[in-house]
């Protein structure tokens, strides 16, 4: 069943106290990728969810760095473009930038201006939603390119941090932790 497949994914996510800073409980997604069958299940669940939205999608936007892994597979499975939002200073050509804070730091995001055209329909994907600073910043960039955000998708949502409240777009999470 779907619930059992989600539970298999969840069972491989590990929790590390005090990483990368005291007071943070780090939820590590990489053990999921060590098991190809469970990672395949995870990607199938995300793909099925997006297909079930029954909306046209032009591109999947993945967030540096863990969002790239989920994003590239999702884009391939949907048969649409993959567009990376990168930490600043890594993308050539004309870009737009936004600075933001996250649970344990701050950073600047960047996207190539020619990666998306106005009115395109996009899914934004990341591994995890904590305070929501990262996802909110990504939404801001995508809106500056005049694209429509169909949904924001994450594998893990840390509900206590209320990242969802920072977002004006629809957000879907496969699993939650409190």
**Sole binder of ligand ADE in the list 6, 26, 97, 172 (CB under 6 A):** 26
CB 130 within 8 A of CB 102: yes
- Beta strands 95-102 and 105-112: pairing type? antiparallel
Find all residues with CB under 8 Å of 54, minimum gap 6, and list them: none
Both structure tokens of 83: 């567009």
Instruction: Kindly identify the residues of this chain, within the stretch 109-168, that bind ligand PRP according to CB under 6 A.
Output: 126-134, 163
Instruction: Kindly identify the residues of this chain, within the stretch 10-69, that bind ligand PRP according to CB under 6 A.
Output: 63-66
Distance CA 135, CA 103 (A): 12
93 by DSSP, 3-state: which?
Answer: coil
Q: Identify which range of 22-30, 44-52, 117-125, 147-155 contacts ligand ADE by CB under 6 A.
A: 22-30
Both structure tokens of 135: 């996802």
Q: Identify which range of 4-12, 24-32, 83-91, 141-149 contacts ligand ADE by CB under 6 A.
A: 24-32
Nearest to 165, CA basis, from 142, 124, 122, 136: 136
The reply on whether position 25 binds ligand ADE by CB under 6 A is yes
CB 127 to ligand PRP: min, Å: 5
From ligand ADE, ligand PRP, none, which one binds at residue 132 (CB under 5 to 8 Å depending on kind)?
Answer: ligand PRP
The reply on whether position 84 binds ligand PRP by CB under 6 A is no
- For the four alpha carbons of 92, 98, 96 and 150, in that order, the dihedral sign comes to positive
Q: Which residues bind ligand PRP (CB under 6 A)?
A: 63-66, 102-103, 107, 126-134, 163
Q: Which residues bind ligand ADE (CB under 6 A)?
A: 24-27, 102-103, 128, 130, 158
């Amino acid at each position: 069943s779907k619930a059992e497949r989600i539970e298999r994914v969840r069972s491989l996510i590990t929790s590390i106290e005090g990483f990368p800073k005291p007071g943070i409980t780090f939820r590590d997604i990489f053990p999921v990728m060590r098991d190809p069958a469970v990672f395949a299940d995870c990607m199938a669940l995300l793909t099925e969810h997006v297909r079930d939205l029954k909306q046209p999608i032009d591109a999947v936007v993945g967030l540096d760095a863990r969002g790239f892994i989920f994003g590239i597979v999702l884009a391939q499975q949907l048969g649409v473009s993959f567009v990376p939002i990168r930490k600043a200073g890594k993308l050539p050509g004309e870009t737009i930038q936004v600075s933001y804070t996250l649970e344990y730091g701050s950073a600047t995001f960047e996207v190539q201006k020619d990666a998306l055209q106005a009115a395109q329909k996009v899914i934004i994907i990341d591994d995890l939603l904590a305070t929501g600073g990262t996802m909110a910043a990504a939404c801001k960039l995508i809106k500056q390119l005049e694209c429509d955000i169909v949904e924001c998708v994450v594998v893990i949502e840390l509900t206590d941090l209320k990242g969802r409240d920072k977002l004006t777009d629809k957000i879907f999470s496969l699993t939650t932790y409190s």
